[in-house]
Copies of this chain bind each other. A is one copy, B any other.
Amino acid sequence: MTEIAVTERTRHRRMKENGSTRRADLDAILAAGFVCHLGVVVDGTPMVVPTVYGATADALYFHGSVASRSLSQDPQPEVCVTVTHVDGLILARSVFEHGVNYRCAMVYGTPVAVTGEEKLEGLRVLTEQCAPGQWDYARRPNRKELAATTLLKLPLDEVSVKIAAGPPDDGDGPDAASGRWAGNLPLHSAYGPPVPAPEVPAGVPVPGHIAAMRLGSV
Binding site for B on A (CB under 8 A): 9, 13-14, 34-35, 37-42, 44-50, 52, 65-66, 68-69, 78-82, 84, 86, 88-89, 91-96, 98, 100, 102, 104, 106, 108, 123, 127, 130-131, 134-135, 137-142, 145, 149, 167-168, 171-172, 175-176, 178-200, 204-207, 210, 213, 215
Contact = CB atoms under 8 A, between A and B. Distances in A.
B194 A184 contact: yes
Contacts of A37: 37, 39, 48, 50, 82, 84
A91 B134 contact: yes
A181 B167 contact: no
Counted per complex, copies of this chain come to 2
Query: 6 closest pairs, A vs B, by CB?
Result: A171-B199, A39-B46, A39-B48, A167-B197, A37-B37, A186-B192
Contacts of A139: 93-96, 175, 178, 180
Given A68-B13, A185-B194, A195-B183, A140 B46 contact: no
A94 B138 contact: yes
